[in-house]
Structure 1
């Protein structure tokens, strides 16, 4: 993260966007309060799950399209959940 900040501070022009990819343990979630939905590649995390009957694609931040396999709920803590 420090290297990313240093790179951003060293640029002379404004960067429109920046991405960061990193490996994190499966138990860690990075939540974005401005995201419409959250995604996971781990079906076992779902407390309820419905497979999509028709192929649907969603647009991710970089403009690429990715297929949706299904949707459902994930329990984060006993008092909150992602829907």
Structure 2
């Protein structure tokens, strides 16, 4: 989610982490509150609808939770062997 827009860049927030990204690849005006898809290199390349963003964020949160649960389960199994 965009929390600030500057000259050719936007500051975004996701899961409590902020990141400054380039808007060089965007063909449209970006506003505070917009949701963006961002390449690993830090370039925003697509604005997405809030509903789609919320669905994606929910799925990511579930995957991160499952990943953490799996790590903890694996550590418990190793420790109990």
Normalising to structure 1: TM-score of the pair? 0.19
Normalising to structure 2: TM-score of the pair? 0.19
Higher helix share: 2
Higher strand share: 1
